[in-house]
């Protein structure tokens, strides 16, 4: 396994040409010492199953684009966790500015990989390939984690021996669950059906990368002209490959925003994407699952004033 890590991690002062946001955040990280700096990966890497089996730990895979890097939390409540940030750049000229920010604001729990281009599914696949541990959890750049997230995920894989486990995300954690010293709550599991996979969002997904070998379809997801549906497709592909897919009853991530798949009706592209998602996963635009989704969600589109758009474009 080739793991090329940038050698020069000396601190650099934030230049006057950097954005105000970068300057503010860099100032807060000025106390970071050399020993606690993140590992900056020079290029994308490919880690094989044999190497991952030697590291039965969990890495949180964070995808972000451009200034989204400034939103990535430090996750200080999880001192033993591991993180890999895949940072897509639409302006390569800012690469050094972002690198300096990452070095100043993240610690040795983090790896940082900057790549050119756009496309959330491309970012997810880059992170999956580069993940050095057996277990991975897919995150966005604006996620809060449960204080016992690592223990809960690892225990879930021990109990289920699944290739993938979905944990439903919540808007916010109850106050009693924010205490890192509180015992972890009990978790129960059920097997996924094809229908239940349609309710999974990417920030719900924990993966055993030695068993889960499906990859995100890069024609779907934010940054493409089909801006959602990639989660359902990758899980459907894994199910077709025989992977054991489970769902938990406890959310370990809090995401206050609206996920990209929640609005499936307001534009022709969004309505079309939902129909094509089911066609890609089932092989037919008029599969029973696709028809069931249309009938169930048409009233939702109607309530929001977009039934016409949804009905005209869903089956195209």
Single out the residue of 205, 190, 203, 272 nearest to residue 236, CA to CA. Answer: 205
* CA distances, 75 to each of 109, 138, 149, 150 (Å): 10, 15, 11, 12
Decide which of 3.40.718.10, 3.40.190.10, 3.90.550.10, 3.40.50.300 is the CATH code for 20-262: 3.90.550.10
- Confidence at residue 255, expressed as pLDDT on a 0 to 100 scale: 85
The pTM assigned to this predicted structure is 0.85
Q: How many residues does the chain have?
A: 316
List beta partners, residue 39.
111
- Confidence at residue 8, expressed as pLDDT on a 0 to 100 scale: 36
- Confidence at residue 7, expressed as pLDDT on a 0 to 100 scale: 34
Q: Could you give the CA distance from residue 30 to residue 222 in angstroms, rounded to a whole number? A: 33
Q: How would you classify residue 119: left for phi > 0, otherwise alpha for psi between -120 and 50, otherwise beta? A: left
Q: Could you give the CA distance from residue 45 to residue 3 in angstroms, rounded to a whole number? A: 6
- Give the DSSP letter of residue 5: B
- Domain limits of the chain? 20-262
- Confidence at residue 298, expressed as pLDDT on a 0 to 100 scale: 96
Single out the residue of 268, 283, 262 nearest to residue 314, CA to CA. Answer: 268
- Confidence at residue 183, expressed as pLDDT on a 0 to 100 scale: 72
- Confidence at residue 179, expressed as pLDDT on a 0 to 100 scale: 66
Q: Could you give the CA distance from residue 150 to residue 154 in angstroms, rounded to a whole number? A: 6
Containing 39, the helix (H) or strand (E) segment is: strand 39-41
Contact 2/45 with Cβ under 8 angstroms?
yes
Pairing outcome for strands 205-208 and 164-166 = antiparallel
- Confidence at residue 11, expressed as pLDDT on a 0 to 100 scale: 33
Single out the residue of 2, 4, 51, 52 nearest to residue 207, CA to CA. Answer: 52
Q: Could you give the CA distance from residue 45 to residue 133 in angstroms, rounded to a whole number? A: 13
pLDDT 10s digit of each residue in the chain, 316 long? 434 333 333 333 333 334 444 444 444 444 444 458 999 999 889 999 999 999 999 999 999 999 999 999 999 989 889 999 999 999 999 999 999 999 999 999 999 999 999 999 999 999 999 999 999 999 999 999 999 999 999 999 999 999 999 999 888 887 556 666 677 677 899 999 999 999 999 899 999 999 999 999 999 999 999 999 999 999 999 999 999 999 999 889 998 766 656 789 999 999 999 999 999 999 999 999 999 999 999 999 999 999 999 999 999 9
């Amino acid at each position: 396994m080739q793991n090329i890590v940038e050698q020069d991690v000396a601190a650099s002062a934030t230049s006057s040409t950097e954005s105000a946001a970068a300057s503010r955040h860099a100032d807060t990280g000025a106390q970071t010492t050399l020993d606690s700096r993140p590992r900056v990966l020079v290029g994308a890497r490919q880690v094989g199953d044999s190497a991952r089996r030697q590291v039965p730990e969990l890495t949180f895979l964070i995808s972000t684009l451009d200034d989204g890097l400034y939103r990535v939390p430090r996750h200080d409540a999880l001192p033993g966790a591991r993180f890999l940030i895949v940072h897509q750049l639409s302006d390569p000229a800012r690469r050094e500015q972002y690198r300096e920010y990452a070095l100043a604001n993240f610690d040795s729990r983090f790896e940082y990989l900057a790549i050119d281009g756009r496309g959330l599914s491309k970012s997810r696949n880059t992170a999956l390939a580069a993940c050095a541990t057996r277990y991975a959890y897919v995150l966005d750049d604006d996620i809060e984690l449960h204080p016992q997230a690592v223990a809960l995920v690892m225990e879930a894989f021990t109990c289920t021996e699944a290739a993938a486990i979905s944990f439903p995300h919540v808007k916010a954690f109850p106050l009693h669950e924010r205490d890192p010293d509180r015992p972890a709550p009990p978790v129960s599991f059920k097997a996924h059906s094809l229908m239940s996979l349609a309710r999974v969002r990417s920030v719900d997904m924990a993966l055993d990368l030695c068993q889960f070998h499906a990859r995100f379809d890069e024609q779907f997801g934010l940054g493409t002209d089909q801006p959602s549906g990639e989660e359902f497709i990758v899980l459907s592909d894994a199910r077709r490959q025989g992977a054991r897919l489970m769902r938990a009853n406890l959310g370990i991530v809090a995401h206050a925003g609206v996920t990209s798949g929640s609005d499936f009706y307001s534009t022709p592209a969004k309505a079309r994407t939902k129909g094509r998602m089911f066609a890609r996963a089932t092989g037919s635009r008029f599969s029973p699952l696709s028809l069931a989704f249309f009938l169930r969600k048409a009233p939702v589109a109607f309530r929001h004033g977009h039934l016409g758009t949804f009905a005209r474009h869903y089956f195209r």
